Structure 1
């Protein structure tokens, strides 16, 4: 019984040490590609909040808006306010852009909607699949999907 406790204690100590060492050596993420396709306002808002937090930590942010999330890129979109900050997903998106984030809609968004490029918010582009594929396969880029 005593040997079992010692073995468990030793294993726990080894795991804690390994976890602490891994944390110390984990590099910051240089670039992040945040792909948002959910139509849920809470999901869209949380994607923007997390992207903003990463941006504040020095990560370069690229946002790709697809499917229903592409509507955030439209000038006419006015979503409901989300609590606790009382902001909309598109306001959070604009704040990310002001801080340097690049925002694009998916290449399929406009051709499969009733909208055109002139209806996009200022600074929002249309993604080129080859460019997105390059980001997705870049070893320095983390891809997050919402």
Structure 2
């Protein structure tokens, strides 16, 4: 089973993205905790794409989502044509920050860590001037 979504790369699209993710997760009969973690992961990635992937002059840009539901997995693929950004490059830095006292941490900076924590597998690649983020959740 496959579901697709295309949205403008604007913060106004986050609500539509969340509704799409909840719909897909419910179609796959995910538990509430898994749905929450998946929503958090997608929201973090989409927000980063919107805020950092495009310049103000690029507001005619889009983010494409495709979800594949099988007996064992849910795979959500996110495509964007923003600047190259590999979220896995931030993972080591952010996972080190988890052990730093809250008062000593910079504001923000744990979103990618939380996104990876919410999925079973994450893969990134850059192909033909597109960022491709692939998130996999194992169905239980």
**TM-score normalized by structure 1?**
0.29
* Bigger proportion of residues as strand: 2
**TM-score normalized by structure 2?**
0.30
Which structure has the larger Rg over C-alpha atoms? 1
